[in-house]
């Protein structure tokens, strides 16, 4: 039984229920990406006009629900976490209200941050130092095949806990592969190089879905959907998982760097077409460059894509200074919240993870993790990866 009071947990549970009333990333992602890609690449338009799904719930109604939840929490550690989550909800709901307007981007910067000089220079360094991979013509894995492989991966965890309650769904209104709550969503146009499949499974299933499951068993239910600012650490952990299973390819690392460059240029007012062209100059195919450009320009400008590389850098710095991954498996949280999480664990306010990533038991994981801790050159992350 948790050492947190019933009244405090009741407030936390109400906030956790708010997180389940809207699907933020889906709601800010275009539904007509493939149509816009075709029109852009054949020269029909230089400024794609994206369409978005209708919002299932009125943001104003959700705000009213949020405002009705009391904020008088006795436990200071929990009060800190909940106050930050309230602010994150307010930013997300404000962004949904402002979708497609000039008011959207400043809220995105407040939510996800921007790109500082250090991060931009690191991204440029990666793009300059890591050679453009040569296309090998390998037959790629399509959406239905990847979904089947994801189900097989989930079977490993269902054997440990049959009640994990996660699902895989192939959808035409999704771009690429993403996790929303307890679902792994695979876009119908998804095409993945076979050498990237296992790494992507560990990114999405072994990190995002697994931490959702572990969080759902915690007394604090927000650890399933995520504490405020969790996404940066989640993405850093997920990219680290790709490295630990030997699947962080040169293309993938360059892709993460390109996302930083695209966000930086979007923030500086560069047009969609010019952002796209700059990525092509860096060696990305027009098709791939369109996806990256779309991701940062959608809904009025999303700075989220800068967090993948920044999250990885912060996590490597955490490890280099003696930090561990142990408590990051309890649920979805930010590195900044670890002192509070450590305190709650010590007080019995949280429980241990129900399941751990299967790759942690692999014989090569410990040596790869040690290698990451003592990293001196980012190119080392892609050594031995095809």
Give the separation between CA 36 and CA 272, rounded to whole angstroms.
12
Q: Is residue 242 part of a domain?
A: yes
Instruction: Look at residue 139 and tell me if it is in a domain.
Output: no
pLDDT of residue 287: 96
User: pLDDT digit string (tens) for 130-183?
Assistant: 999 887 778 999 999 999 999 999 999 999 999 998 999 999 989 899 999 899
Residue 26 has pLDDT above 80, yes or no: yes
Four-point Cα dihedral 97, 98, 100, 103, nearest 10: 180
Residue 80 is assigned to a structural domain of this protein:
yes
Q: Is residue 252 part of a domain?
A: yes
> What residue numbers bound the domain in which 45 lies?
6-130+228-382
DSSP secondary-structure letter at 131? P
Q: Is pLDDT above 60 for 386?
A: no
Average pLDDT over residues 9-28: 95
pTM metric for this prediction: 0.95
| Percent with pLDDT over 70 in the chain | 98
d(CA 41, CA 286): 7
pLDDT tops 70 at residue 379: yes
How high is the pLDDT of residue 38? 97
24: buried, middle or exposed (CB in 10 Å: 19+, 13-18, 0-12)? middle
Residues 135 and 195: beta-carbon distance below 8 Å: no
Mean pLDDT calculated for residue range 192-201: 95
pLDDT at residue number 385: 62
Is the separation of the CB atoms in 289 and 216 below 8 Å? no
Long-range contacts of 41-45 (CB under 8 A, 24+ apart): 41/286, 41/287, 41/290
Exposure string (b/e) for 40-72, b if CB count within 10 Å is 16 or more? beeeeeeebebebeeeeeebeebbeebeebeee
pLDDT of residue 377: 79
**Structure token digits, residue 195:** 């050498």
Contact at 8 Å (CB) between 55 and 93?
A: no
Is 50 a residue whose pLDDT tops 60? Answer: yes
pLDDT of residue 384: 60
Give the pLDDT confidence of 247-305 residue by residue, as tens digits: 999 999 999 999 999 999 999 999 999 999 999 999 999 999 999 999 999 999 999 99
Number of domains in the chain: 1
86-113 residue pLDDT tens: 999 999 999 999 999 999 999 999 999 9
Torsion of CA 300, 304, 309, 310, to 10 degrees: 110
Average pLDDT value for the chain: 94
pLDDT at 383 over 70: no
Contacts of 377 (CB under 8 A, 6+ apart): 129
Q: How confident is the model at residue 327 (pLDDT cuts 50, 70, 90)?
A: very high
* Predicted local confidence at residue 259, as pLDDT: 98
Full DSSP string of 147-185: HHHHHHHHHHHHHH-TT---EEEEETT--SEEEETTEEE
Whether 306 is covered by a domain: the verdict is yes
Residue 1 has pLDDT above 70, yes or no: no
Q: 232 pLDDT exceeds 60?
A: yes
Q: Decide if 248 contacts 256 (C-beta within 8 A).
A: no
Place of tokens 């006795």: 74
Evaluated on CA atoms 267, 258, 89, 352, the torsion sign reads negative
Residue 369 lies in a domain: yes
Structural domain includes residue 310: yes
Q: Is residue 194 part of a domain?
A: no
Helical spans, DSSP H, in 169-227:
194-203, 210-216, 222-225
Q: Burial-class residue 284 by CB neighbours within 10 Å (0-12, 13-18, 19+).
A: buried
DSSP collapsed to 3 states, 96-119: HHCCCCCCHHHHHHHHHCCCCHHH
Q: Which pLDDT band holds residue 376 (cuts at 50, 70, 90)?
A: confident
């Amino acid at each position: 039984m948790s050492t947190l009071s019933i009244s405090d947990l009741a407030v936390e549970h109400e906030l956790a229920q708010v997180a389940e009333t809207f699907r933020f990333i889906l709601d800010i992602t275009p539904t007509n990406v493939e149509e816009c890609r075709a029109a852009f690449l054949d020269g029909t338009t230089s400024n794609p006009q994206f369409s978005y799904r209708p919002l299932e719930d009125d943001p104003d109604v959700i705000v009213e629900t949020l405002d009705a939840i009391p904020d008088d929490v006795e436990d200071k550690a929990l009060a800190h976490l909940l106050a930050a989550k309230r602010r994150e909800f307010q930013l997300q709901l404000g962004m949904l209200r402002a979708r497609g307007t000039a008011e959207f981007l400043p809220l995105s910067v407040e939510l996800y941050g921007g790109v500082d000089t250090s991060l931009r220079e690191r991204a440029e360094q990666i793009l300059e130092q890591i050679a453009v991979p040569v296309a090998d013509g390998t037959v790629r894995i399509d959406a239905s095949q990847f979904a089947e492989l994801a189900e097989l991966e989930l079977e490993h965890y269902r054997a440990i806990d049959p009640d994990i309650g996660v699902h895989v769904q192939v959808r035409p209104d999704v771009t690429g592969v993403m996790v929303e709550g307890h679902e792994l969503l695979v876009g119908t146009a998804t095409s993945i190089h076979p050498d990237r499949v296992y790494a992507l499974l560990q990114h999405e299933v072994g990190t995002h879905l697994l931490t959702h499951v572990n969080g759902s068993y915690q007394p604090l239910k927000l650890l399933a959907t995520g504490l405020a600012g969790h996404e940066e650490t989640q993405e850093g952990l997920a990219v680290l998982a790709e490295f630990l299973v030997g699947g962080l390819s040169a293309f993938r690392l360059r892709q993460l760097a390109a996302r930083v460059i695209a966000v930086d240029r979007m923030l500086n007012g560069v047009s969609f077409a010019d952002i796209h062209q700059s990525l092509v100059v860096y060696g990305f195919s027009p098709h791939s460059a369109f996806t990256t450009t779309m991701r940062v320009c959608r809904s009025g400008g999303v700075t989220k894509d800068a967090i993948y590389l920044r999250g990885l850098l912060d996590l490597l710095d955490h490890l280099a200074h003696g930090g561990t991954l142990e408590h990051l498996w309890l649920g979805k949280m930010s590195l900044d919240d670890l002192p509070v999480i450590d305190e709650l664990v010590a007080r019995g306010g949280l429980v241990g993870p129900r399941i751990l990533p299967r790759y942690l038991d692999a014989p090569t994981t410990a040596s790869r993790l040690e290698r990451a801790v003592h990293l001196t050159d980012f190119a080392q992350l892609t050594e031995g990866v095809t």
